[in-house]
């Protein structure tokens, strides 16, 4: 595998693709659809927010390895954060996957495995899909499907 590919498809990503975590919908949670018209991928992000804290996050849907792994890692990363902290994490994640190639990506712990997406401009939207859906819920504006276009 070429270096770029190894950077993109790290073992953690392949693992989350094979065995996505929190792959379900939350009964009584708020559900938001994210849609990527470029590839037809759809993801449903489901969140339970209580007293300003993200009590539970889950997702369902179909997508590429990057989209699925990113959604799966996101559910782990956001759980237990306050809404403000989760919004901040969204901004950090967006900045990481869109930052310039020559800048070191921000260290976001386990989420940093997705920094390799920076080298693949066409795949940034795959990594962002679930995050945009989650952001809509965090902002309290879930409605029409969130599109990455």
Partner 1 sequence: MAAETVPAVETAARAASVREEFPILAIEAHGRRLAYLDNAATTQKPREVVDAIAGYYTTSNANVHRGVHLLSERATAAFEGARDDVAAYFGAAHRHEIIFTRNATEGINLVAQSWGGRHLSAGDEVLISAMEHHSNIVPWQLACERTGAVLKVVPIDDRGALDMEAFGRLLGPRTKIVAMTQLSNALGTVTPMAEIIRAAHDAGAVVLVDGAQAAYHLPVHVQALGADFYVATGHKLYGPTGIGVLYGREALLDAMPPYQGGGDMIASVTFEKSTWNTLPYKFEAGTPHIAGAVGLGAATRFIRRVGFDWIAAHEADLLAYATAAIAAVPGVRLVGTAPVKASIVSFVMEGVHPHDIGTVVDRMGVAIRTGHHCAQPVMARFGVPATARASLAMYNTREDIDQLVDALHEVRRVFA
The partner residues of 91 in beta bridges, in order of sequence, read none
Q: Is 12 in the site for partner 1 (CB under 8 A)?
A: no
Q: Report how far residue 126's alpha carbon sits from residue 4's, in angstroms, rounded to the nearest whole number.
A: 17
Q: Give CA–CA dist 5/7, Å, rounded.
A: 5
Q: 43 in helix, strand or coil?
A: strand
Please, which residue, 71 or 137, has the CB nearer to partner 1? 71
Q: Where are the alpha helices (DSSP H) in the chain?
A: 3-8, 11-18, 65-78, 83-98, 124-138
Given 41, 71, 136, 137, the residue binding partner 1 (CB under 8 A): 41
Quote the distance between the C-alpha of residue 8 and its chain's center: 15
Q: With respect to partner 1, which residue has the nearer C-beta, 17 or 22?
A: 17
| Interaction between residue 1 and partner 1 (CB under 8 A) | yes
| Residue 58 binds partner 1, judged by CB under 8 A | no
4 binds partner 1 (CB under 8 A): yes
CB of 96 to partner 1, least distance (A): 19
Residue 60's CB: how many other CB atoms inside 10 A? 16
Quick check: 52 binds partner 1 (CB under 8 A)? no
Q: Which residue, 38 or 144, is less far from partner 1 as judged by CB?
A: 38
Region of 48-56, 61-69, 131-139, 141-149 interacting with partner 1 (CB under 8 A): 61-69
Q: Which two tokens stand for residue 141?
A: 């504006």
Residues lying near partner 1 in the complex (CB under 8 A) are found at 1-2, 4-5, 8-9, 14, 17, 38-42, 62-67, 120, 122-123, 126
């Amino acid at each position: 595998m070429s270096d770029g590919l190894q950077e993109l498809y790290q073992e953690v990503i392949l693992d989350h693709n094979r065995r996505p975590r929190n792959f379900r919908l939350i009964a009584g949670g708020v559900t938001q659809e994210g849609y990527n018209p470029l590839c037809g991928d759809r993801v449903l992000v489901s969140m339970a927010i209580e007293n300003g804290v993200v009590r539970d996050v889950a997702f369902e849907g179909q997508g590429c390895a990057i989209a699925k792994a990113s959604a799966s890692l996101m559910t782990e990363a956001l759980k237990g954060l306050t809404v403000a902290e989760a919004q901040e994490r969204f901004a950090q994640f967006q900045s990481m996957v869109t930052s310039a190639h020559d800048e070191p990506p921000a260290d976001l712990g386990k989420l940093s495995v997705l920094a390799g997406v920076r080298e693949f401009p066409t795949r940034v939207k795959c990594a962002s899909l679930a995050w945009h859906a989650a952001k809509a819920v965090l902002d309290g504006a879930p409605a029409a499907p969130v599109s990455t276009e």
